[in-house]
A and B are shown apart, each in its own frame.
Chain A
């Protein structure tokens, strides 16, 4: 245990009292990073971090993030530092500008320790497809279970206690699912709450900036720092930024919807039992639990709808990666050859498969039955989610049907369980609603999490609920460095 393992507020207190310094924190984070063997880093920024941290001498008492070390998924643009999104197509690409969230954390004097791995171009949920290979789960020294993705490296570095927080991105569940597998608080707010400027797009209508922390209050501190209108992202909201720090932590009278088809589809008895205990404990605290039927057909349609929309948008967003302007260049006699060589060499076959699906869905002869239909299904599902949230304060579910799966397990299995219980976090992306994963318990020594989703821009309510839940679970501050006893 060290100051690095405390909550952000506690670290801040120690910094203000000069019990530790940003430089000490950065050095320790770097040491832990170098000792870690989960393959979580694209790039460690050792010299830069030490340089920046040593400039931070006088603590800013009103800035909770002053001097806090952090890591960044390698799909956020960083001025002057190679950013590849774990894809060979972007090898050598050094951006000319910082993503808005990076600028904001710079202003807060956070210290960037390193850039973390991801599934190639953030497309994937296993943490196995980036150009640096598999990123492992810190809870599994045997390296047989995944940490999940696509924000695999960011999940691993926070779970391994290297940094108190790390940024990720979430298009389907790329922060909130790995948060479940890595025992973390994984948050994505309302679409438009945080600027996406500088986040490499996967599917902009579904993309969100998200982040991993070890407790709910840390998450709220970050949201406050990262939120707000940004003219560089015209989809960012003009709504004033709230204070998100959880205050009212009672569950009394809260109306909580549990989607019964999803819970019923879970085959892992321990996950189910743990979740049921959680429901019971919340009821004991005065929450009103409603088991709501969402509509099986719509739930089954989530995966296909997601694949069609996300692949269609991705094939267009990544059309800029042609070797002409930046990124890896592989020669060619004509512009067609240059583009074709860059893309053939640069993308893995999984990415090409997504582009083909996306192009196919947009083709003139298919667009009505695939893309346009998917848009309609998305609208229908969104309407259903909002309908449920009209009568309930939140939708509460297991974040995943199981702890982190084996790396050897097929990721293509389209079982009922997979379709219904492994993809529901995308509801939050379809509807653009705030959604947070919080640790629930352990199964076979691996963490599992639950997820809360609230109405648009009700992040404050979301954090109140998550914070109350954290009190019940007893898992605030969890990492492999500071293990906790599960209660549920």
Chain B
């Protein structure tokens, strides 16, 4: 029997706003534990939530990118449960009226066809505090308590691990490029819960759902799902029942491992948050949030392609948002240089970053300088010469022109008559080499070109010399 998998994803994204979802304390990952905390974050009696405007703007932007219906009446609800990481004993969320609903996202399916994945809802909520468990005690870090989150819930439209991976990549690109989040799965700022069940092809019902957790990269989502689908299929084929359970992905073994069996779903006793009156957003506010959204991934990709970049190069640049923004700054002056600039970024600058173990956003290079270096190449300097200039600037700073002078790099002429004069002169002076060449000694041509470069003191373009040399040798 053949089975198909039914996969749905819940993605939690931590927003990188200046302050928390409902309090004024700073929202940052990097501070000492328990230093970004207000009385509200620790649920001191009498404290009250204040809605973060930027978080609402971010949520609108993501909802719009996901083609969702946006509810301009913003309302919040309480989700009640007791847990050590939940200071108030409830989480403020949007259970009854999510800010966005009924959207979709298009991804490339495994077969290469465009596939539309439905999105049920997007809502805002607050994060819990971070727990660190030790043998006989636990530590709580309230810096994370109240960090703004958006949760994006897909419809069960995904069918395999590859689709799920691409869906998450697409979501990550949206939250990243809209400025909502840094979308780092490995640091937990983008977290994925996956629900998967299988059913015989053609069947309309749903099988028993298994939840997968601990998926800290898009690749792991694909691997975990491929494994889990195979595991469930094997279960059904050998007449074993699939239990309703939560499993985690074990990276080392590449398997999913049982975490806990699910009992009856918890009753969260939702009710409307009485300390936040419903907020009516004006149409202008919503439209302005959308209009001022930074350019998203897909739009940038299309633009890069239009500027002459290959699909691969464009995707490489966009895989690093800092590199993409550097690229854009560097191409402002002269968009015609896009291809050359992209090439420097992808090859020389990436190599430099890797060699020195630094990130793009700490690279001390002025985008305009790269543009100037690209302009040299456009004006006839060789790529090798320009790469030398670039590396000199990377090591020593300064302008492109200063680096050129410091490295004594001169433009090589490819003026046909100038090159021809040098070639003719050298050929006339070296009849023996011509004979050697004719006799099949290819090395002789290299010698002749070398003589030309020497005579011209490096000021002619080797490629142009080689071309003219070929033509002239043929005539002799």
A residues contacting B by CB (< 8 A) are 76-77, 83, 85, 90, 93, 95-97, 99, 196-201, 203-205, 231-235, 312-313, 315-316, 318-322, 324-326, 335-336, 339, 359, 362-364, 367, 371
Interface contact B90-A316, CB-CB below 8 Å: yes
Say yes or no: is B385 at the interface (Cβ < 8 Å to chain A).
no
| Assembled-state Cα–Cα distance A83/B275 (Å) | 21
Q: Does the CB pair A319–B47 fall under 8 Å?
A: no
| Cβ-defined partner of A325 (8 Å) among B42, B80, B82, B277 | B42
Q: Are A320 and B43 in contact (CB under 8 A)?
A: yes
Tell me whether B46 and A99 are in contact (CB under 8 A).
yes
**Are B269 and A363 closer than 8 Å at their CB atoms?**
yes
B84 touches A316 (CB 8 A): no
Q: Which of B33-61 contact A (CB under 8 A)?
A: 39, 42-51
Question: Known: A234-B277, A316-B80, A362-B269. Is A197-B48 also a contact (CB below 8 A)?
Answer: yes
Q: Is B48 a contact of A196 with CB atoms below 8 Å?
A: yes
Taking the nearest CB of chain A, how far is it from the CB of B260, in angstroms? 16
| B276/A235 in contact, CB under 8 A | yes
| Number of A-B residue pairs having CB atoms within 8 Å of each other in the complex | 102
Given contacts A234-B276, A316-B78, A322-B89, contact A199 B46 (CB under 8 A): yes
B88 close to chain A: CB less than 8 A: yes
Q: Which residue of A lies closest to B142 (CB)?
A: A325
B267 within 8 Å of A (CB atoms): yes
Q: What's the nearest-Cβ distance from chain A to residue B341, in Å?
A: 47
The reply to whether A204 and B44 contact each other, CB–CB distance below 8 Å, is no
In the complex, A320 Cα to B78 Cα: how many Å? 13
A77 touches B275 (CB 8 A): no
> B43 near A325 (CB under 8 angstroms)?
yes
B138 at the interface (CB under 8 A from A): yes
Is B87 at the interface (CB under 8 A from chain A)? yes
Minimum Cβ distance to chain B for residue A382 (Å): 15
Check A325–B87 contact: CB distance below 8 A: yes
The 10 closest A-B pairs by CB, nearest first: A319-B89, A335-B84, A362-B269, A320-B43, A205-B274, A204-B274, A198-B46, A200-B45, A77-B46, A364-B267
CA separation between A95 and B42, bound complex, in Å?
12
Given known A316-B78, A322-B82, A362-B271, contact A234–B45 (CB-CB < 8 A): no
Alpha-carbon distance A200/B314, docked complex (angstroms): 56
Tell me the nearest residue of chain A to B45, going by C-beta.
A200
Q: How far is the CB of B116 from chain A (nearest CB, A)?
A: 33
Question: Are A320 and B45 closer than 8 Å at their CB atoms?
Answer: yes
Chain A residue nearest to B275 (CB atoms) is A204
When the two chains form their complex, are residues B87 and A234 in contact, meaning their CB atoms are under 8 A apart? no
* Contact (Cβ within 8 A) B274 A233: no
Chain B, interface SS category: loop
Residues of B within 8 A of A199 (CB): 46
Q: Is the beta-carbon distance between A234 and B90 smaller than 8 angstroms?
A: no
| A339 with B49, Cβ < 8 A, contacts A319-B90, A325-B42, A325-B43 known | no
Which of under 10, 10 to 19, 20 to 34, or 35 or more describes the interface residues of B? Answer: 20 to 34
Once the chains are docked, how many angstroms separate the CA of A178 from the CA of B89? 32
Contact A312 B271 (CB under 8 A): yes
Specify the chain A residue showing the minimal Cβ separation from B136: A333
CB distance from B101 to the nearest CB of A (A): 21
For B50, what are the chain A residues with a Cβ–Cβ distance below 8 Å?
231-232, 234
C-alpha gap A363/B267 in the complex (Å): 7
Contact status of A200 and B89, CB under 8 A, knowing A97-B39, A316-B78, A363-B269: no
Residues of B within 8 A of A312 (CB): 271
Shortest distance between the CB of A192 and any CB in chain B (Å): 8
Contacts of A204 in B (CB 8 A): 274-275
Contact of A339 among B42, B82, B90 (CB under 8 A): B82
Determine the chain B residues whose CB is within 8 A of the CB of A359 once the complex forms.
269
| Chain B residue contacts of A235, Cβ below 8 A | 48, 275-277
Q: How far is the CA of A456 from the CA of B269 in the complex (A)?
A: 31
State whether B48 touches A233 (Cβ < 8 A).
yes
23 contacts between A and B (CB under 8 A): A83-B45, A96-B39, A97-B39, A99-B46, A197-B46, A197-B47, A197-B48, A233-B275, A234-B50, A234-B277, A235-B276, A312-B271, A319-B82, A319-B88, A320-B43, A320-B44, A322-B82, A324-B84, A326-B44, A339-B84, A359-B269, A362-B80, A367-B271
CB distance B84 to A232 under 8 Å? no
Q: Which of B66-112 contact A (CB under 8 A)?
A: 78, 80, 82-84, 87-90
Residues of B within 8 A of A362 (CB): 80, 269-271
Interchain CB contact under 8 A, B274 and A90? no
Query: How many whole Å from A96's CB to the nearest CB in chain B?
Result: 6
Residue of A nearest to B277 (CB): A235
Contact across chains for B89 and A234 when beta carbons are under 8 A apart: no
- Asked if B49 and A234 make an inter-chain contact with CB atoms under 8 angstroms apart, the answer reads yes
Q: Which single residue of chain A is at the shortest CB-CB distance from B81?
A: A319
Q: Nearest chain B CB to A43's CB is how many angstroms away? A: 16
Residues of B within 8 A of A339 (CB): 82, 84
A76: B residues at CB distance < 8 A: 46
Q: Smallest Cβ distance from B448 to chain A, in angstroms?
A: 82
Complex alpha-carbon distance, A249 and B83, angstroms: 56
Please determine whether A203 and B274 come into contact, CB atoms closer than 8 angstroms.
Answer: yes
List, in ascending order, chain A residues with CB within 8 A of B44's CB.
77, 95-97, 320, 325-326
Q: What chain A residues lie within 8 Å of B83 (beta carbons)?
A: 335
Residue of A nearest to B51 (CB): A234
Do A234 and B48 form a contact, CB below 8 Å, given A319-B80, A335-B84?
yes
Residues of A within 8 A of B42 (CB): 325-326
Query: Do B269 and A335 have beta carbons less than 8 Å apart?
Result: no
CB distance from A98 to the nearest CB of B (A): 10
